[in-house]
């Protein structure tokens, strides 16, 4: 079953076509990779899916329901959770609060938001997730104190808190030391085993080739290849995009 399907998506910035008539899909319970040289349109594609950018042409469907052009928070509540290339956490809020903020907001009433604190169940769940990403001793510290790698781990915990249908990870291993990369990889695979679907942009080939079952390759906004990691590694067009003729 397709969780996310992108149909003929086009995004232009003036005369520049950043994403050019791209179609792809992500099946439920899978880890799908998205690679390509710098400026190939990977993050722009994520930005279109999450409504950070308005789509010029094409459709985005979540479990067969059209979510194109819906507000960012609505897309998130429907089940698309994303992380950013440079983690966008709330530096002055504690790690616990950062995770709690990713709770489901769909059924929160006005009174609930204004006068009720996060329930003990939610707080316990958030603490479990913080433990899962090995940040327990920092639970009440401001997120601004974390290192780059720890921030990426915290974003994973936030994604789990939301329990979305799909998680879009934008360069989870970018700027992270090798030890933490291993922790990150292990956690992603563990979450995937429990049924979580991932769509991952990654420049670290070792990481993406080892976790993704299928990979899409973008170059200059266009889809140039798709296949398993083995197929992608020997694809001439992909090699040309990365290394030139």
Partner 1 sequence: MVNKLKRLAGQKMNSLLCVLLLVVLLLLPLIVRGTYYRHILIFTLMYIVLAQAWNLIGGYVGQIALGNAVFFALGAYTSTLLVMRGNVTPWVGMWVGGFVAAAVALALGSLFLKLKGHYFAMATIAVGEIMRLWFSNWKFVGGAQGFSLPLKRSSWYYMQWQSKIPYYYIILIIAVLTTLLVRTLDKAKYGSYAKAVNQDEISARSRGVNAFRLKQISFCLCAFITALVGTFYAQYILYISPQSMLLLQTSILVAIIPIVGGVGTVWGPVLGAIFIFPLTEFLRAQLGGQAVGLNYIFFGLAVIFVVMVEPLGLYALLQKMKEIITRVGRSHASPEH
Q: Does 45 bind partner 1 (CB under 8 A)?
A: no
| Distance from C-alpha of 49 to C-alpha of 4, rounded to nearest angstrom | 9
Beta bridge partners of 35: 217
Identify which of residues 168 and 223 has a Cβ nearer to partner 1 in the complex.
168
Identify which of residues 79 and 174 has a Cβ nearer to partner 1 in the complex.
79
Identify which of residues 46 and 223 has a Cβ nearer to partner 1 in the complex.
46
Alpha carbon of 29 to those of 190, 198, 200: distances in Å? 12, 8, 13
Give which of 44, 50, 61, 51 is closest to 10, Cα–Cα: 44
Nearby residues of 176 by Cβ (< 8 Å), 6 or more positions away:
148, 149, 152, 184
Q: Does 116 bind partner 1 (CB under 8 A)?
A: yes
Identify which of residues 108 and 230 has a Cβ nearer to partner 1 in the complex.
108
| Distance from C-alpha of 190 to C-alpha of 82, rounded to nearest angstrom | 18
Count of residues binding partner 1 (CB under 8 A)? Answer: 34
Contact 36, 217 (CB under 8 A): yes
Q: Does 163 bind partner 1 (CB under 8 A)?
A: no
Give which of 231, 234, 226, 194 is closest to 36, Cα–Cα: 226
| Distance from C-alpha of 242 to C-alpha of 245, rounded to nearest angstrom | 9
Choose the stretch contacting partner 1; rule: CB under 8 A; options: 15-23, 33-41, 95-103, 213-221. Answer: 95-103
Identify which of residues 115 and 243 has a Cβ nearer to partner 1 in the complex.
115
Q: Does 240 bind partner 1 (CB under 8 A)?
A: no
Q: Does 72 bind partner 1 (CB under 8 A)?
A: yes
Q: Taking the complex as a whole, how short is the minimal distance between the CB of residue 74 and partner 1, in angstroms?
A: 8
Beta bridge partners of 12: 17
Residues that bind partner 1 (CB under 8 A): 50, 52, 71-73, 76-77, 81-82, 84, 88-93, 97, 100-102, 104-106, 108, 110, 112-118, 158, 162
């Amino acid at each position: 079953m397709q969780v996310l399907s992108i149909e003929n998506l086009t995004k232009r910035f003036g005369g520049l076509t950043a994403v050019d008539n791209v179609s792809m899909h992500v099946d439920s319970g899978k880890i799908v990779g998205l690679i390509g040289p710098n400026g190939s349109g990977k993050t722009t594609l994520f930005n279109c899916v999450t409504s950070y950018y308005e789509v010029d042409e094409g459709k985005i469907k979540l479990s067969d329901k059209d979510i194109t052009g819906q507000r960012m928070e609505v897309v998130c509540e429907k089940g698309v959770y994303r992380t950013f290339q440079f983690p966008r956490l709330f530096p002055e809020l504690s790690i616990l609060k950062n995770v709690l903020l990713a709770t489901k907001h769909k059924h929160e009433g006005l009174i609930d938001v204004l006068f009720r604190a996060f329930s003990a169940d939610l707080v316990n769940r958030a603490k479990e997730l913080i433990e899962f990403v090995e940040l327990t001793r920092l639970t009440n510290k401001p997120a601004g104190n974390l290192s780059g790698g720890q921030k990426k781990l915290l974003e994973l915990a936030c994604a789990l808190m939301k329990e979305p249908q799909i998680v879009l990870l934008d360069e989870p291993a970018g700027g992270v030391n090798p030890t933490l990369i291993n922790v990150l990889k292990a956690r992603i695979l563990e979450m995937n085993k429990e049924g979580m679907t991932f769509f991952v942009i990654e420049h670290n080939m070792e990481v993406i080739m080892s976790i993704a079952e299928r990979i899409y390759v973008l170059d200059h906004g266009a889809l140039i290849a798709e296949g398993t990691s083995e197929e992608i590694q020997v694809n001439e067009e992909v090699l040309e995009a990365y290394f030139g003729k």
